[in-house]
Each structure stands twice: as C-alpha cells, then as structure tokens.
Chain A
C-alpha cells in the first residue's frame, strides 16, 4: 500500500480548515489510524484548533485513534444482523479474544470492530475478516475462523 506521509497529505491543502475531514480520511487510509502526532500536525497544517480536530476524529467511527490489530474482525450490528444474532457473535469474539469492541488484543494480532450495516443484510449475520465477507455466521464458525487465523499467524 503506497503510504503517504503527513507532509504529502497536507500538501496543497494548508490553511484550508474545510479540508479537515478529507485530510483525516487520507491519514486514516494511509496510516491505518490517526495518531496524536498526526492530529497535531493536521491541526497546525490546516489551522484548525486541536480540540476541533480531536472532536471530529473521535466522533466518526470511521476514524480509529489507535492502531488496529493484524486481523480486523468487523461484526455487523445492523438491524438485520442484530435480529439474526449478531450479539452472540460479538460475545463470541470478545470472549474468545478477551478484548472489548474497538480494542486490540495485547499481542496485536486481532482487533474487534463493529459497524451498523454492511449492505448485505439478506446474507446476515455478516462478519468481515480483513475486508473479506463471511455470511450466515454462527458463533461456532466464528470460533473456528479465529482459531485458524491465530494458528496462521503463529506459524509465520
């Protein structure tokens, strides 16, 4: 992934406070998360008070303020998936990995996330693993998936 430095992202957008969200999106896309330093740099570059940058970055779930794990498991918690038992999947993942939603395991291998609809409601409940969709998920399928992923990582 061609990752751009903060300098490159801010290039041509300095002192344009209205670019805040776009810039944060770019930082998120190329760095995977938005660090405190990145927010400070964005604040200075765009001339937006740091409080404002932090407020916006902490408001949208699309922005992560901490690095994510190697494997990102995203549970769909939308209405359709919810009625089909997304809660159980979330409990399975958080229980098995011992983390809370939007947290990373201490070994940095997994992070568990939730979203409100992935647009594949008919196939729910949906879990995505690093962007790959798994449909009709059940707690036991999810347990196996997590087991496989942790074994893979242990091997390489």
Chain B
C-alpha cells in the first residue's frame, strides 16, 4: 500500500505519497516551482538547480534542490521566500548568459524574474541540463550519449565523439533539449542583455504574480508535470 505523508509547502498542508519528490508534490498540488532539468518520467540529476527551495528543519533552513528531495512526514518547505527568489533569479541569469538562444531558457528566466543579464554572454548551445543523457540512458537504455570531461570542459558527447551504432537514432535526446526551441526575435543579444518581455501575454503575468505557474513554453513542450497531468 502506498503510504501517505503530510508535508507543508508554502503554508499548504499537502498529502503526498511517500517516495515522491517535493517538486512533484508541489506541482501536483498547483504550486509551480520553476524547474528545467527535471522531466516527470525520468529520474532527476539536479543539474540546473533552478528548483531550489528552503527546507526548514528545527527553525533552520537549508537551501536544496526540490527535484531530488523526497517528501517526509512533517516536512516544512518554503518555495517563495526572498532568499529563494534572489538565488533562483541569479541561477536563471547564469543560464541565460550561458545559452541565450533558446526560447525555453528565455521563458524560464522571465519566469524567475530575470529582466537583464549582468554576466557576459557565452552563446553556448548547451546548458548541461542532462535531459538528453537521462532520456537516452533511462528510456532507451542505449547509453549512446553522456557527459564527458569535467569543469569548463564538461560537455555532452558520444563515446569518443563518434555516433556509435547502438544509438537508435530515435531523436528523443533532441526532443527534450531546451536548446531546440528557437528564441524569440526580441533582444537578448550581446550588448542588449535584457529580455524583451513581449513574449507571450501569459508570461506578462510573471510580473504581476511572481512565482506562480505561467504555463510556460518550457512546460508545454517538455511535459512539465502540470501539462502531463492534464493530458492523461
């Protein structure tokens, strides 16, 4: 039998199944914690750190990624404090600086309150979220791609950089990649490091009601738990 536990997220008492993560429990209840590397049917590797929350234990709070934090009885979680908002905005800003050419990254940055980017643009084509790697490993069991190198050199690649014949050419790695959503043609270019915010009218909501789910492009195309919930 599935055991239920009581957790308190942003003041709401939520019953969640033991073994689910705080992120899943929050989304299911309707509290959107921004997240990028988490995909509902894959296990999380906590690469993007966008889903940070404050986990309050005995009056002290730890900032930790909610996609790998399992619910426990009596847990107290805050997803929307000043501290979290500040940290999250900074993380999102770094993501945009690393890879501004993706609508998904732009959306999530806007969602996290980024309006201008203080870091130099790197124009990379990967944010190392690991979604492609998890997909290939867990769903297709192909292990045709993975992380290679460390530190600055870390990147996603085939073994020895050559597509192996056990790659099934299923294309799911590409489908899950946030970099495949073309950017809007607003600014967000070197020299004009701010978001145009003309994106979707919905996203304008981000201004008025910060930290609520804005049904972002990212969630739609990548099966954010909320969209998945509606379909099934």
Contact = CB atoms under 8 A, between A and B. Distances in A.
* Main SS class of interface, B: loop
Interface in A43-99: 49-55, 58-61
A55 B164 contact: no
Interface stretch (B27-35, B140-148, B204-212, B219-227): B140-148
Contacts of B143: 49-52
B143 to A, nearest CB: 4
B149 interface: yes
Of A39, A52, A54, A58, the most chain B CB neighbours within 10 A belong to A58
B148 A50 contact: no
B74 interface: no
Contacts of A39: 159
Given A50-B159, A51-B159, A59 B149 contact: yes
Q: How large is the interface on A (under 10, 10 to 19, 20 to 34, 35 or more residues)?
A: 10 to 19
A51 B149 contact: no
A36 interface: yes
B164 A58 contact: no
A64 to B, nearest CB: 13
Interface of B: 143-150, 158-160, 164
Given A58-B149, A58-B150, 5 more contacts: A36-B160, A54-B146, A54-B148, A59-B149, A59-B150
18 contacts: A36-B160, A50-B164, A51-B143, A51-B145, A51-B146, A51-B158, A51-B159, A52-B143, A52-B146, A53-B159, A54-B148, A54-B159, A55-B146, A55-B147, A55-B148, A58-B148, A58-B149, A61-B150
